[in-house]
Amino acid sequence: MTTRRKIEISEFRILAAPLVAFLVLFLGFPAVVNLVYSVSEVSFETLRRPALSGFGNFAAVLGDAAFWRASWFSFRFGLLTAVIECGLGLFLAIFLSPLIEKRSWLLAILMMPLMVAPALVGLMYRLVLHEFVGPVPYYLWAYLGASISFLGAGSAFWTLVAIETLQWTPFALLLFYMAYQAIPAEVNEAATLDGAGGLQRLRHIELPLMRPTIVVALLIRFIDGFRVFDNVYVLTGSGPGGSTASLSIYIYEAFFKQGAIGKAVAASVILFAVSFAVLYGLNAIAARRKGKGR
Amino acid sequence: MRHSTMKIRALYAACMLSLFTGPALAEVTVLGWPGGPEEVALRAAADAYNAKADLADADKVELLFFNRDGFWDKLQADLAAGSTAFDINLLATYSIGRYAPFMEPIALSDEAKAVYGDSVLATMQYQGEQYGVPTDLSLHFMYYRKDLIDALLNDDAAKAKYAEIAEKHLGKKLEPKQPDAWDWDDYTATALYFTQAVNPDSPTRYGTVLQMKNLLFNIMVWQSLPRAYGADWRDDGGKITVNSDAYRKGLEVYKLLYDAGATPRDSLSYEFAEANAAYASGQVAAMLQWNAAAGDLTSTEKSPAVAEVTDTVAPPSGPAGRFTHIHGLGFGLNKNAENKDGAVRFLKWLSSKEAALIYARNNGAPALTPEVVAEVAGERPDLVKLGEFAGKYGYVMNGGTSAKALSVYELQAKEFTGYWSGQQSLDDALANTEKGMADLLKE
């Protein structure tokens, strides 16, 4: 090894030390504690002296119908909101692009829903959708003589999807607008000269060039939707019979409401393992595609 | 001066400064319930206590408040971690068993029994020990529109319609009565009569508003119904008794009202605030609600549509009697208190008649015996009913102060809302609840 290489390694170690210390302290330690708790019988009284009990907590979680129901809710919610938000965001980014180019302040207004904390959004819609104080049911009663049950057992899921979409579509719009603006004008001009119409340019040039951004946006929105907690919890709690409990709500309720700390932590460990496997797989696919592209 | 000596002196000065800038002026720290009438009342009581001439500076009381959101979870974590940040902490009837391992039983003043009475003191007891001073009591009133009921009672055609609706939905003809004489069938029949989906001539859109959100507090509101039919969580032998006719009846009444449209369709997401808003709109004839709503619902400023025509009585009765769920907020002693003697002295004073009257005069809601409440009846007429109902109709379910009481309420909320929303059968809801409670309440 050359002297220069040795110096580089030494510098790398020194520079990386604070980051490593931070990760060990704030991620490593809780992760180890979580792993211990997940295989222990532990309560608030015995937080400092958990008794190892094997994999019973994992069995309890995997055998709990509420866990699978919450997993299905999270998956469905994450997938639907990601697809709808990205679809709407993409459409708006392209459709409004000429307008935003001329009046950039419009973008600031469109971004406003992002400024509101999700818990406040939940609170806001508790008022907006309330039959006696909310404007939406008020006008429905006034014009139709009846109102929809927005938060009933059959409709709560779709109401939550709509609220999440209304809040986070601007995020997708922002990403797609930036990606759309980054497409070199010459490419489009060349295609136009070759006789390509608007739809053809969109299909064969713009969308392929925006694909990396679309994939990233879908992933980010799916992750955000999958781990949803605050606005759902404020609006419907875990829903009648647990029908709107996401995985985050399931874990929170198991931990704090039922005092089943081992079970809650075991569920979070399973969630971590599955998330890690999925992300690792996606990363591997992306790396392989990158390799093929070269 | 040498540099090292200067550094040591600077460090010493900094340490001394920190001693004087810490919260060392008051020695008994009380963690209270923030942001409501309870805070106002506690502040007044603490001021009165601190103003006592014979109180040592070291025993003066300092109050500590943090946010209501997640209060009980944070308190649980603090107590479990052995926090010494407070000597006295808030506790509630349904959470005593959860916090008792981190607290110490206390001795109340000699006057406490005469001030509060046995049933109210019991809201702060766990396994035969007194863990707190019951400063605020919560129970349920039935709020109703006396103008609507009077009109119904004075109209023969309306009475006939009422009897017809009762026969159709309940299988028996009933006559309208004054609300104080209602049993749960009368409540159900009245709710149906005042529902436009059932009776298009009804002056209100809904006969009642039910709080059916999957939330533990909603089960407390509901459970006085099955209790009137003899329901309890378990018998004296510890056997879980929820899979019973009484629970079945209580669940079916709510289901019937929900399915008939006698309560708003979104009731499955309703809790305290939503129910109040519905009632205050003037589109609801009667509802069961916490006593804490009385101030708003009878205020012409806050509820102009209903304030002057609203009255309150105790919840309806059933074959086993008339009941209202009660639970108290109170103050108890942290096992890790740094100033235990000072804290015990304050708690003893807090349970005296003097403190109870100060608390009552400053927006608190203590349930006082008739003799004591008479002294503040002019200023706080609502406390007269509170004390009367608590003494006559108050109950705590068998197991309602156990370590897992909150979890039992959570379980019931989940299972029963599952039935009300049509996601599972009544048999499944009761069987699941029985099984879950057996796990939670096993000794």
Whether residues B218 and B285 share a domain: the answer is yes
Residues ≥6 apart with Cβ < 8 Å to B188 = B169, B170, B253, B256, B257
pLDDT tens digits for range A255-278: 888 878 999 999 999 998 988 898
B149 with B223, same domain: the answer is yes
Q: d(Cα A173, Cα A164) in Å, to the nearest integer?
A: 14
pLDDT for the residue B24? 42
**pLDDT value at position B13?**
52
Same domain as B434, residue B344? no
pLDDT of residue B15: 46
Give A197-203 contacts, CB < 8 A, sequence gap 24+. Answer: A202/A94
What is the distance, to the nearest Å, from the Cα of residue B242 to the centroid of all Cα atoms in its chain? 21
Q: Does residue A229 sit within a domain? A: yes
B247 and B311 inside one domain: yes
Contact A239 B410 (CB under 8 A): no
Set of chain A residues whose Cβ sits within 8 Å of the Cβ of B277 = 130, 132-133
- Cβ A185 vs Cβ A257: under 8 Å: no
- Residues B414 and B408: their CA atoms lie apart, in Å, by 10
CB B119 within 8 A of CB B387: no
Residue A260 lies in a domain: yes
Q: Does B418 sit within 8 Å of A241, measured CB to CB?
A: yes
As given in the structure block, the two tokens for residue A180 are 């759309």
Is it the case that residue B14 has pLDDT exceeding 90? no
3-state secondary structure chain B: CCHHHHHHHHHHHHHHHHHHHCCCCCCEEEECCCCCHHHHHHHHHHHHHHCCCCCCHHHCEEEECCCCCCHHHHHHHHHHCCCCCCCEEEEEHHHHHHHHHHEECCCCCCCHHHHHCHHHHHHHEECCEECCEEEEEECEEEEEEHHHHHHHHCCHHHHHHHHHHHHHHHCCCCCCCCHHHCEHHHHHHHHHHCCCCCCCCCCCCEEECCCCCCCHHHHHHHCHHHHCCCCCCECCCCCECCCCHHHHHHHHHHHHHHHCCCCCHHHHHCCHHHHHHHHHCCCEEEEEEEHHHHHHHCCCCCCCCCHHHEEEECCCEECCEECEECEEEEEEEECCCCCHHHHHHHHHHHCCHHHHHHHHHCCCCCCCCHHHHCCCCCCCHHHHHHHHHHHHHEECCCCCCCCCHHHHHHHHHHHHHHHHCCCCCHHHHHHHHHHHHHHHCCC
Residue A242 touches partner B, C-beta closer than 8 Å: yes
Kindly report the average pLDDT of chain A as a whole number: 90
How many residues are given for chain B?
A: 443
Percentage of the residues of chain B whose pLDDT score is greater than 90: 74
Q: Quote the pLDDT of residue B345.
A: 95
- Same structural domain for residues B365 and B384? yes
Judge whether residue A290 has pLDDT over 50.
yes
Burial, B147: exposed, middle or buried (Cβ in 10 Å; 0-12, 13-18, 19+)?
middle
Is residue B358 domain-shared with residue B286, that is, in the same domain?
A: no
Task: Specify the CATH number for the domain of residue B45.
Answer: 3.40.190.10
CB-based contacts of B229, cutoff 8 Å, min separation 6: B184, B245, B246, B249, B250, B318, B319, B320
Nearest to B264 by CA among B206, B195, B197, B212: B206
Question: Looking at the domain assignment, is residue A43 inside a domain?
Answer: no
For residues A192 and A16, what is the distance between their CA atoms, to the nearest angstrom? 50
Which of A45, A131, A240 shows the shortest C-beta gap to B214?
Answer: A240
Contact at CB, A236 and B404, closer than 8 angstroms: no
Residues of B in CB contact (< 8 Å) with A are 70, 73, 76-77, 79-81, 98, 101-102, 212-216, 264-266, 268-269, 274, 277-278, 280-281, 283, 404, 406-407, 410-411, 414-415, 417-424
- Residue A29, pLDDT > 60, answer yes
Clarify whether residues B69 and B198 are in a common domain: no
Average pLDDT of chain B is 91
Cβ contact, residue pair A257, B418, below 8 Å: no
Residue B69 has pLDDT above 90, yes or no: no
CA distance A228 to A248: 7
In angstroms, the CA B28 to CA B428 distance is: 50
Over 90: is that where the pLDDT of B163 sits? Answer: yes
Which residue range(s) make up the domain with B17?
3-135+329-395
What pLDDT score does A286 carry? 80
A258 in contact with chain B, both atoms CB, cutoff 8 A: yes
- Give the number of domains in chain A: 1
**Domain CATH for A74:** 1.10.3720.10
Number of residues assigned to chain A: 294
Helix axes B426-440, B245-259, angle to 10 degrees: 130
Weakest mean pLDDT among B25-29, B82-86, B305-309, B398-402: B25-29
Place of tokens 């000065």: B13
How far off is chain A from B171, nearest CA to CA, in Å? 28
Whether residue B79 is predicted with pLDDT greater than 50 in this model: the reply is yes
Q: Which residues contact A167 (CB under 8 A, 6 or more apart)?
A: A113, A114, A116, A118, A121, A231
- Rounded to the nearest 10°, the torsion over CA B350, B356, B360, B365 is 70
Q: Are residues B300 and B338 in the same domain?
A: no
* pLDDT mean over B147-155: 97
Residue A2 lies inside a defined structural domain of this protein? no
Kindly report which listed range (A222-226, B17-21, B84-88, B397-401) carries the lowest average pLDDT score.
B17-21
Asked if pLDDT for residue A293 goes beyond 60, the answer is no
Give per-residue pLDDT as tens, A44-90: 778 788 888 889 999 999 999 999 999 999 999 999 999 999 999 99
Neighbours of A280 (CB within 10 A): 10
Residue B3 has pLDDT above 90, yes or no: no
Domain ranges, residue A120: 66-293
CA–CA separation, A42 and A259 (whole Å): 9
Q: Is the pLDDT assigned to residue B365 strictly greater than 70?
A: yes
| Cβ neighbours of residue A158 closer than 8 Å, sequence gap 6 or more | none
Q: Quick one: B262 and B376 in the same domain?
A: no
What pLDDT score was predicted for residue B324?
Answer: 95
Q: Which residue has the tokens 């207004």?
A: A109
Q: Please report which confidence band the pLDDT of residue B314 belongs to, taking 50, 70 and 90 as the band edges.
A: very high
pLDDT of residue B5: 55
Residue type, B157: A
Residue of A nearest to B437 (CA): A258
Number of domains in chain B: 2
B236 and B348 part of one domain: no
Nearest to A152 among B266, B406, B407 (CB): B266
Does B1 score more than 50 pLDDT? no
Q: What is the pLDDT of residues A201-234, one digit of tens each?
A: 999 999 999 999 999 999 999 999 999 999 999 9
Contacts of B204 in chain A (CB under 8 A): none
Task: Map tokens 């001021």 to a residue.
Answer: B47
Instruction: Judge if B421 and B363 occupy the same domain.
Output: no
B97 and B144 together in one domain: no
The token duo for A238 is 């875990």
Q: With bands split at pLDDT 50, 70 and 90, how would you rate the model's confidence at B23?
A: very low
Q: Residue B154, class by beta-carbon neighbours within 10 Å (0-12 exposed, 13-18 middle, 19+ buried)?
A: exposed
Among candidates B165, B229, B233, which has minimal Cα distance to B194?
B165
Ramachandran category for residue B129: left, alpha or beta (phi over 0 → left; psi -120 to 50 → alpha): beta
Burial class (CB in 10 A: 0-12, 13-18, 19+), A184: exposed
